[in-house]
Amino acid sequence: MMLLLRPNCEWCDCDLPPESPDARICSYECTYCVHCVETVLHNVCATCGGGICS
Ligand SMILES: [Zn+2]
Ligand SMILES: [Zn+2]
């Protein structure tokens, strides 16, 4: 399944190119950078509460 990634982290709005190894996506396709996922969100989406997988 292809997931469409938005170009910016939804938390800090940093640039996240679709092929970036720093991009993370939640169960409902919200996009975050790995920094926010690990230090702020702790693998729980701030928008929808879904889990975030790499
Ligand atoms: Zn971020
Ligand atoms: Zn989400």
Ligand 2 centroid to Cα of residue 15, in Å, is: 18
pLDDT at res. 7: 78
Ligand 2 centroid to Cα of residue 25, in Å, is: 8
Total tally of structural domains belonging to the chain: 1
Per-residue pLDDT band at 3 (split at 50, 70, 90): low
pLDDT at res. 8: 92
- Which ligand is closest in space to the CA of residue 48? 2
**DSSP string covering the chain, please?**
---PPPSB-TTT--B--TT-TTEEEETT--EEEHHHIIIIITTB-TTT--BEE-
Per-residue pLDDT tens over the stretch 4-52: 655 799 999 999 886 789 999 999 989 999 999 999 999 999 999 999 9
Q: Please, what is the Cα angle at 23 between 45 and 10, to 5 degrees?
A: 45
Domain range for 27: 1-54
Q: Which of 13, 47, 24 is nearest to 5 (CA)?
A: 24
